[in-house]
Structures are given as structure tokens and as C-alpha cells.
A and B are shown apart, each in its own frame.
Chain A
Amino acid sequence: MNAEVAKVAMIKTAAETALTRTYTQARDQLPGDDAIAAQRAAAFDVFAREGLPHRRIEDWKYTDLRALMRDAKPLAGPPDAAAKACAKTAGAMIGDVETRRLVFVDGAFVPELSDTANLERGLTVRSLADALTAGDAALAGHLGKLAPADDVAVALNTALMGDGAVIRIAANSTIERPLHLVFVSSGKPAATFMRSLVVVEPGARAMLIESHEGPAGGDYQVNAAVELFVGDGAHMDHVKVIGEGADALHVSTLAAAIGARSRFNAFTFTAGGAVVRNQLFLRFDGEDTVAGVRGATLIKGAQHADTTLVASHIARGCQSREMFKTVLDGEAHGVFQGRIIVRPGAQKTDAKMMTQALLLSERAEADNKPELEIYADDVQCGHGATAGALDDDLKFYLMARGIPAHEAEALLIRAFLGEAIEGIEHAGLREALMDAATAWLAARGGEAAHA
């Protein structure tokens, strides 16, 4: 560590000081036994040592959390009736897809809004707070095993995790109805730290949807992490919809380990939040797995959205397709950092990553950083990155057929996003997210017309 970095880390920002105070005051009330408390303390030490990540930390170069996070909100209190009322209409971004809803309001599980009756055979669901308080054997073997301990966002999540979902899907069970973790913030100036653990045993089939939302104008902060274990021969889909309110700070992490001969699809749809950092840490531990990792981001105004992906091929013969599309308007700032790592044992890896940014405004900024780190010699890996404006010739062609400018743009933007959204296997969800993109575009058209 050079002297300058050391100096920067030593001066504590208001947010760092507040986070330390929050942890010190809350640690005795946070759920969990001594082992969990020790895990929290160790995680907090990582934060105490590193501070909030800033631009001199390569992985956070484009998302300087130290600068972007002006303050740290106090931990959210238990949701009151008014806060719970916010959750009634939550999750609308996934349209009318029928799901099993598990609702969390201001970071706490709300059983009366959740659908925990008549669980399918093989499905076990409980809240993290409950599991931590009562003790759960699954926790010891899994909690904190996948999320990278040295990532400060993850460390803060581990130190302060209050609630979340603990889900187990027994071997060879097929859960038809997607599980939907509905995370809702009431908009109070508060912080929530949610941690979920999902264990998909060998041969099982399931789909997990996470949606995150809150009211516009609500100055709140969300740090949510999911650790996902996918067993051999399983088929797992994960879809995250980030639709936070316009002033929210959202950091979320998906850490997954995928077994052999399985199918895994992950998709993130990002449209909300003032500052969003979406992290994916994926590990292909078993051979011959086929994975699709995709995302669509639509941001405008002064929004900042960062997708950071690390896909590690550990075992041989896995195929992964990564495709991330970003549409930026206004002064929005989009970031994509994608790293594919191929370990020495991962011969015959077939990994292709594509990231594309479509800039609708001259003031928008897109940073694309695709990386390949290959330690095996018999692999097929590639990446591509593009950033550009809409094709004027195509727009003219559409307009020459009578399609108005904003509608022509919407058609082309939907086509651009469609390439990523088409990768979602669930037809209803695919349509719902295309509709969400259409709504975003319609709102944009409306604003342009008023301008």
C-alpha cells in the first residue's frame, strides 16, 4: 500500500464514521449466536481496515462509493402499518407473473404479506432473522461461504445483516411457481442490510426473482446479498429487478457456486436508484454446466448504475454467455466491469461476453471494462464491447414509413435490449420486463416532448 492510499483510507468520511457508530450500537441486538457475532466482527474489521471503497481501488474505480455515499443512514426500524401498506402493490415490475411472494419491508420479513402456506414438497422457507435466532444447521455450512469476504460491500452486509430469506430446495424437486423475494423500502431515511441464502440441491429446478423498490424521493440505502448454491444437475434461474426510488442508494450482490451438468441463468434488470452497484460473483465449480448471465440497464437523469461481474470457470467444459446492455439518457453514468477467469483445470471452457451501451444523450457516460484472465490453454473465450448512439439511418428508415421519431427510437431501443431480455427462459417474465422497458421509454418520450 503506498503512502497516498494509506492517507486517503485514514481520513474517515461522515458515512464511514456513521457506519462504525451503527455497528457499535447495533451489534448486541443483531440476531445470531456467538459464532455469528464473531463472523460479523471479522467482517466489520474488513470495513474498519479498508473504509468505503473509492476510485483508487480498481474494482470500484468507476463507482467511488466513498464520494457517492455522502452519509450512512441509521438502521431501519421494524416496519409500521404505514410502511407495510407500501408493500401491497410492490413487485408490479414483473407484471402478472404468478409467484410465491416473500415480502420484506424496510429490511424485515413480513409474514402476513407473504405467501408461506402450502409450500411445495421439497421447498423450505424461513426468514434469516428467524434462522439466526433459532439456529439453523444450514447457516453454518453456507453463510458467508460464497460472498467474497474482502469485498467491503459484502463485509458491511455480513456485519449488519438483519433479515432475508433462507430457502432450501430438496434434491430432484421441481418448484414450478417462481419464488419472489419482494424487497420494499417505505422511503424513510434508513439503511437495510439483507442477506439471503438459497440452497438448490442436486437435480432440483427452481426460479428465484428478487425485486427491489421504494418510493421516489425516499432517501434510503439498501445493501442486499444473496448466496446461492446450485447443486449438480440442477436448473436454476435468478432474476433481479432493481427498481429503487430515484434518490436511493442500492448495493446488491449475488454470489453463486454452480455444480456440474447444471443449467444456470441470471438476469438483472436495472431501472431505478440514484446510485446502483450490482455485483455478481459466479463460480462454475462442476463440469459441463451451461450458463447465461445477462442484464439490461435503463438509466436517465443523474443516475449511476454499475454492474460488476466476476465469472470464474473452475471446472472443465462449462459454457457461459454473458450479455449486458445499457441504455443511457440525460447525464446518466453506466458502468460495466466483467471479468471471466478460467482456472488451469477449466479446459474446454467456452465463454463469451458482450457488453453494449447505447447513449441517447451527449452528456451520458458509459464505461465498459471487459477482461479475460485465462490460465488454461484449450479454451474458447471472447469478449466484445461497444458504445454508441442510435443508428440515424435506421431511425430515418422507420420515420420514412410514418413512425414518429420517439416511437422509432423506442422500437430500436427495444430491439437493442431484446437481445439480452430474450435470454430469460420464463416467457411471462420476459414480456413483463419488455413492458417495463417500454414504459421507461414512453416516460422518456413524454419528457422529451415537454422539453
Chain B
Amino acid sequence: MPLLEIKNLHVEIDGKPILKGLDLTVNAGEVHAIMGPNGSGKSTLAYVLAGKDDYIVTDGEVLFNDRNIFDMAPDERAAAGLFLAFQYPLEIPGVATMTFLRTALNAQRKKRGEVELSTPEFLKKVREVAGRLSIEQEMLRRAVNVGFSGGEKKRNEVLQMALLEPRLAVLDETDSGLDIDALKIVADGVNHLRASSRAFVVITHYQRLLDYIVPDIVHVLSRGRIVKTGGKELALELEARGYAEYQEEAAA
């Protein structure tokens, strides 16, 4: 049984169709990369999976662990093991990062019928993950993402992912705005989480990230559909030749 199965997905926003019959199957243990030009629907796919309500699904279905995700609220999807690393992580003034992390983790555990973590257990876990991502304790005491640099925000996303241990992580342009050092830290954080029970969908415009998070399968998304699927070499090919031919293909 695939972990994620997207069949003929049609999505529109403000009456404008964005995804037009997207099919994608992701099995546990796989890392998929979705590449495509701006406006092809990459971020829409990420948001629809996570459950943002500005997007209207007009056709198709998405099964996550054999459950129809459109029957689940965003928090239920998260508790079921779906994680979206945001392209633009939000700042939440007045909510301390530690409070946020703990509330999220315990809410998920509660929903899954697991016991909530004690304070020492939680702190130990956060310290361990934060250390791996070079996140200072001081950063964790601040309000969520407030005053964080672009790189710090992305590392904070990976920190959340590592703590929440999802079954499927969707990374929406996690590489955007990162310099090479920050990119390596983020990629190391992701690679550390690679496991046979876990899958990743890495959405990116550039091939660069895929040097560090090496995908099993690469898809080209253009005008709302997957127009080509291949191995990791497809990413290199795209880097060399650009997206022009796929945009024409999708239009035809």
C-alpha cells in the first residue's frame, strides 16, 4: 500500500484552476523531488496536502495511509503523520518557540492516544535535535520565528519536523533563501530523518538542494500536471536544459 496516493487531482483558487489532473504515488522509504517552473502549482500541491482552506478541490482524491485526507482537518493530517515544511514560515509574536513545540508535539501524541511527554523528556528531545541543527537555546526562548533570519526560520522548520517525526514530510522550497552552509545544515537534518518507514516530497525550483538530499524519483510539474518522471539524473538534465520544453509540452 502506498503511503500517499494522489489521483487525478484538480484544484483551483479564486476560480482559477491550478492543478489539472495531478497523479503521484509515494511509497514509504522513498524520496521524491518535484521540480517545476514558477506558477506550475508546486506550492499549491503542498498547501492542499496540508489542508489550507483557500484551495478548492474540484476533482480527484488523495489517500494518505489509505485515508481520504479531505475528510481530515489540518491538525488531524498532522497527527496522522503528514508534515509540511513551509516555504515562508510564519512569525507568531507572543508565542514562545518552546511552548509552540511542546503544544504541537503533545497535541499530536494525544490525538494518537499516546501519553504526553514529561518536561524532562521533552527538553532532552529538543536539545538533541536542536544541537544537530545548530539551533541555539536562546533561539528557542524567543517567540516563534520572530526576529529569525531566513536560514533560522528554515532550520526551525526542520527542527519541528525532527521533533514531530512524520510519516511523510513535504518540503516546500526549503532551499529558497538559504546560503550554502545553511543549505547543508538543513539537508543534513533531513537526511538524518530518512528511514524505510518515512517518505519525503521535496519541492524545489533548483537542482542544488538535490545534491544534498538525493532523491529516488524526480518529477517535473508543469501547468498543474506531472509531465515527466525519472531518476535523480532528470534533475541534472533540468538544470542543464531548463523547463522550456516541458512548458510547451504541457501547453500542447
Binds A, one of B7-15, B16-24, B78-86, B190-198: B78-86
CA distance A408 to B52 in the complex (A): 15
CA gap between A295 and B51 in the complex, in Å: 36
> How far is it, in angstroms, between the C-alpha of A358 and the C-alpha of B141 when the chains are bound?
26
Check if A415 is an interface residue, CB within 8 A of chain B: yes
Q: Are B107 and A402 in contact (CB under 8 A)?
A: yes
Decide: A399 near B73, CB < 8 A? Known: A404-B107, A407-B107, A411-B103.
yes
Could you say which residues of chain B place their CB within 8 Å of the CB of A416? 94
B92 interfacial by beta-carbon distance below 8 Å: yes
> Measured between alpha carbons, how far is A392 from B55 in the docked complex, in Å?
13
* Contact mask for chain A residues 383-399; partner B; CB cutoff 8 A; 1 contact, 0 none: 00000000011101111
Is the Cβ of B75 less than 8 Å from the Cβ of A404? yes
B104 interface residue per 8 A CB criterion: yes
Asked if A415 and B86 sit within 8 Å, CB to CB, the answer is: no
Interface string of A401-417 (1 = CB under 8 A from B): 11111011001101110
Interface residue? A189 (CB, 8 A): no
Bound-complex Cα distance A412 to B90 (A): 13
CB-CB < 8 A to A393: which residues of B? 90
Give bound CA distance, A183 to B38, whole Å: 64
Taking a contact as CB atoms under 8 Å apart, the answer to whether A397 and B92 are in contact is yes
Q: Are A401 and B164 in contact (CB under 8 A)?
A: yes
The chain B residue sitting closest to A404, CB to CB, is: B75
B94 in contact with A414 (CB, 8 Å): yes
Interface string of B104-145 (1 = CB under 8 A from A): 110110010000000000000000000000000000000100
Q: Is B250 close to A, CB under 8 A?
A: no
Q: Which of A392, A405, A411, A415 contacts B75 (CB 8 A)?
A: A405
Query: Which chain A residue shows the least CB distance to B108?
Result: A402
Across-interface contacts of B84 in A (CB, < 8 A): 400
Count chain A residues whose beta carbon lies closer than 8 angstroms to a beta carbon of B. Answer: 22
A193 to chain B, nearest CB (A): 39
CA distance A16 to B42 in the complex (A): 68
Contacts of B78 in A (CB 8 A): 399-402
Report A-chain residues with C-beta under 8 Å of the C-beta of B73: 399, 404-405
Min Cβ gap A442→B in Å is 14
Chain B residues lying within 8 Å of A407, measured Cβ to Cβ, are 103, 107
Cβ-defined contact, A402 with B94, below 8 A = no
- B contacts with A, residue count (CB < 8 A): 30
Q: B95 within 8 Å of A by Cβ?
A: yes
- Report whether A394 and B92 are in contact in the complex, using a CB–CB cutoff of 8 Å: yes
A-B contact count (CB 8 A): 77
B103 near A403 (CB under 8 angstroms)? yes
Q: Which of A396, A402, A412 contacts B95 (CB 8 A)?
A: A412
Please classify the interface of chain A as helix (H, G, I), strand (E, B), loop, or mixed, using the class held by over half of its residues: helix
The residue of chain A having its C-beta at the shortest distance from the C-beta of B85 within the complex is: A400
Return chain B residues, CB-CB under 8 Å to A394: 90, 92
CB distance from B98 to the nearest CB of A (A): 13
Instruction: Tell me if B107 and A403 are in contact (CB < 8 A).
Output: yes
Whether A415 touches B104, Cβ cut-off 8 Å, given contacts A396-B74, A405-B73, is: no
Q: Is A418's CB within 8 Å of the partner chain B?
A: yes
- Interface set, chain B 48-66, CB cutoff 8 A to A: 50-53
CB of A415 within 8 A of CB of B90, answer no
Tell whether B2 is near chain A: CB-to-CB under 8 Å.
no
For B107, the chain A residues whose CB sits under 8 A away are 401-404, 407
- What does the 1/0 interface line of B190-226 toward A look like (CB < 8 Å)? 0000000000000000000000000000000000000
Question: Closest Cβ of chain B: how far from A434's Cβ, in Å?
Answer: 11
Residues of A within 8 A of B83 (CB): 400
Q: Is B44's beta carbon under 8 Å from chain A?
A: no
Minimal beta-carbon separation of B20 from chain A (angstroms): 24
Q: Is there a chain B Cβ closer than 8 Å to A96's Cβ?
A: no
Q: Is there a chain B Cβ closer than 8 Å to A120's Cβ?
A: no
Which single member of B79, B92, B93 contacts A402 (CB below 8 Å)?
Answer: B79
Complex Cα–Cα for A230 and B84 (A): 55
Q: Assess the B104–A398 pair: CB atoms within 8 A.
A: yes
**Contact of A378 with B by CB under 8 A:** no
Query: Chain B residue with minimal CB distance to A408?
Result: B75
Set of chain A residues within 8 Å of B143, measured between Cβ atoms? 415
Contact of A401 among B52, B93, B94, B104 (CB under 8 A): B104
Cβ of A419 < 8 Å from any Cβ of B? yes
Any chain A CB within 8 A of the CB of B40?
no
Residues in chain B within 8 A of chain A (CB atoms): 50-53, 73-75, 77-79, 83-84, 86, 89-90, 92-95, 99-100, 103-105, 107-108, 111, 143, 160, 164
Can you pick out 9 interface pairs between chain A and chain B where the beta carbons lie within 8 Å of each other? A393-B90, A396-B52, A400-B75, A400-B84, A400-B86, A401-B75, A404-B107, A407-B103, A411-B99
In the A-B complex, the 5 residue pairs with the closest CB atoms = A415-B94, A402-B78, A402-B108, A401-B104, A399-B74
Mark A residues whose CB is within 8 Å of B: 392-394, 396-405, 407-408, 411-412, 414-416, 418-419
